[in-house]
Amino acid sequence: MIRAAMVDDIADIRAMIRELAAYERAAEQARATEEQLREALFGEHPAAFALIAEDDETGQAVGYALWFPRFSTWTGTRGMHLEDLYVRPHARGGGHGKALLASLAAVCRQNGYERFEWWVLDWNQPAIDFYKSLGAELLNEWTVCRLSGAPLGELADRAPAPLDRTSAP
Catalytically annotated residues: 131
Radius of gyration of the chain (CA): 17
Other C-beta atoms within 10 Å of 114: how many?
Answer: 14
Torsion (CA) 94, 50, 111, 108 in degrees, nearest 10? -40
What DSSP line would sit under 3-47, residue for residue?
A: EE--GGGHHHHHHHHHHHHHHTT-GGG----HHHHHHHHHSSS-S
Other C-beta atoms within 10 Å of 102: how many?
Answer: 12
Q: In angstroms, rounded to a whole number, what is the distance separating the alpha carbons of residues 120 and 29?
A: 17
Q: Strand order in 116-118's β-sheet?
A: 2-4, 49-54, 61-72, 77-87, 116-118
